[in-house]
Structure 1
């Protein structure tokens, strides 16, 4: 079990245990890649002559920071599976590789080595280490966020994730954002943005301590700025072009979409509701995500924007609308 999970019913607990004992369903989604637990991957990189000190320093920094937020137990590094040694020509990995990330039912993070994947060690070690640190720091917050599972039709169903809620019948607390909007009223986007802001801050500080700098080439510069949270507005709007495999080009496209759809929207949210206090709201929000308790967050927002701000901003009327059983 993750540290802040609640499971209602022995049948749900047994189903989750079975899912978490077998990662083959997740790795089967990437049949071209070979996966190793992150500790084995790091040992392999070290044996090839790579210095992995920066990653381990970042891990210690993340552990100390997350304890401040109420998360005392980090995701076991053994439950992070790193894909590499791909048999697919031109395969390109990293944080924005398709279908990767933390999977809460299996309690496993599936990630890929940054850069060309037709090898067992990274072509660009500094970028790969920063990318892996960002992914781990990000997924640790997902792992440590409050969750509640109940039995619906014999399957584990999540009714709470952090400060977001879902009825057993499927209605969500907040609605999806309209396509193209620069702001957000969706709690999923807010929490994803908060997790990535924190992960990229840790990665940025780790890079600075290690003396890592942005590479001169376009792809490398985009990757470094992405993992360290230093992408400019011009970066987001500019097609980097440059040489690279089709997958590498698609990777940068996914990077830019994530920056626009998640990180930029979260930054706008903080500026909108906490001008001059963005860091304070970010801390209160992440603490609430870990604990699942929205009272302090609600009080913080109420003190600045009036009573009932949290519900007024995020709650959709559909959350209280019964779902008709059309199968009868």
Structure 2
């Protein structure tokens, strides 16, 4: 087995590389920054979306499987719809076409629950959830899912699958989880009424484990898989775990949601309020039924991240 891992220098890509090496897989690594991969690697520069077809064929030549981690994340505040579509949908489609022609094994496309639901929606997500993306990032990820599966189907193949992820945490995490961690580090009292949402999360290590599971699974792949830690955790518990890691008191005030919601609306923060209070739960039953073991110590891991100071916390916005 020789696996092409794209986005190999990224947050999830680094964990995937580590896990596959542990499993004894031979690797080809693709990154926009191949110089960060060090000497002695089978490393290539990730082609731009408008690169010649030959560049994508060269990337996939000689590998059996592909794990596509590269893409534009939803924490890129200045990205446009066209940026997301190019980096996520178009790039994925071009790579999948090349891989379907040349790679004999599987194609694992990393996706997001944003391909299915918006940040303000409360829902339980599984493989059969009807997609209704509500942001540019989510629409681009959903289009990427469709185009990757279609690329393989057009070659008479069914060995591509999409792995939908909830927010992923671990060393170098960014986005909303890092913002919550920074908020927890202030030590300011926080109202429980604003932290009522329940979320499924996924550790970066478990993400890599799910990818290896899909690569090594015997039998035919399902087109969609959903991964998550179990059980889901409340946003209040996430903040509490971070504060425990920082050695700070919890300082959660018992303030009811009603007055806070009204204040958020009056201040023009309705979107942020809805995002904080939404419950988004991922059901990983399919993966579990196939033998994958989810992470069960989410809050302990979050506390350890805070203790070690491993997150890259962006400014609050």
Give the shorter-chain TM-score range: under 0.3
Report the structure, 1 or 2, having the larger strand content: 2
Report the structure, 1 or 2, having the larger helix content: 1
TM-score, normalised via structure 1 length: 0.24
